[in-house]
């Protein structure tokens, strides 16, 4: 398991899914190379990349002669291949917390479409949008707030007693609204700001600048 690791990501560092794979690798304290793909061009559609990723998607993790795409699968793979206690766990150890974390991860990837479209990660990583949320966007934000309110305790701490990937992923979804100046309940706002200070997230943000 000591082979080289490379992470293929979008050259703008905008993809939230590339960010999650990047954060996972940083949290595991694994050295890795970054290979930037110009998604505006056709690099990710080239046969060599399709072969590597199977589906042409970003991010793709290459570990030795094994390659894997889909950020949720990458997170699980890293937890299986580089388990605690030697490496930080990316998912909670308890059966029910682990299940809830995976529910949150899957939900954020497949629902709240209007929110993801109207508040793309460009509003976080580049500049806010001047368009107000549509009715669908507002409804999605409300749905997010209701679920997040049930999940996050009054002190705005990590979801399951210690950080896990679902914290970064939920914080990113809420951050779309925070960065844009849309109204976000105080408890959720505090949760996001705490998660955003994590060194792995700050390291990702460092790639945005300059």
Q: Is 61 helix (H, G, I), strand (E, B) or coil?
A: strand
Q: Considering only residues 50, 142, 155, 208, which one is a binding residue for a copy of itself as defined by CB under 8 A?
A: 50
DSSP 68: E
Nearer to a copy of itself, 103 or 202 (CB): 103
Q: Does 135 bind a copy of itself (CB under 8 A)?
A: no
Q: Considering only residues 32, 34, 36, 111, which one is a binding residue for a copy of itself as defined by CB under 8 A?
A: 111
> CB count, 10 Å around CB of 65?
6
Q: How far is residue 10's CA from residue 8's CA, in Å, rounded to a whole number? A: 7
**Closest C-alpha among 81, 90, 82, 51 to residue 67:** 51
Sign of the torsion formed by the C-alpha atoms of 82, 87, 89 and 94: positive
Q: Considering only residues 36, 100, 187, 207, which one is a binding residue for a copy of itself as defined by CB under 8 A?
A: 100
Q: Does 97 bind a copy of itself (CB under 8 A)?
A: no
Under the rule (CB under 8 A), what is the footprint of a copy of itself? 50, 54-57, 66, 68-73, 76-77, 80-81, 95-96, 98-100, 102-103, 105-107, 109-111, 143, 146-147, 150-151
């Amino acid at each position: 398991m000591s082979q080289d690791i490379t992470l293929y990501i979008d050259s703008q560092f905008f993809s939230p899914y590339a960010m999650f794979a990047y954060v996972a690798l940083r949290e595991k304290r694994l050295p890795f190379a970054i290979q930037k793909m110009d998604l505006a061009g056709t690099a990710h559609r080239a046969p060599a990349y399709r072969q590597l990723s199977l589906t042409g998607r970003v991010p793709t993790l290459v570990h030795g002669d094994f390659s894997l795409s889909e950020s949720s699968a990458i997170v699980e793979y890293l937890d299986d291949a580089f388990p605690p206690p030697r490496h930080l766990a990316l998912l909670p150890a308890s059966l029910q917390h682990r299940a809830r974390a995976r529910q949150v991860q899957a939900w954020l990837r497949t629902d709240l479409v209007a929110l993801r479209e109207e508040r793309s990660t460009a509003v976080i990583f580049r500049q806010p949008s001047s368009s107000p949320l549509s009715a669908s966007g507002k409804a999605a934000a409300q749905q997010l707030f209701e679920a997040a309110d049930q999940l996050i305790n009054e002190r705005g701490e990590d979801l399951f007693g210690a950080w896990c990937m679902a914290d970064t992923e939920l914080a990113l979804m809420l951050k779309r609204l925070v960065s844009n100046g849309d109204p976000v309940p105080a408890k959720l706002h505090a949760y996001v700001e705490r998660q955003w200070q994590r060194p792995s997230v700050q390291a990702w943000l460092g790639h945005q600048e300059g």
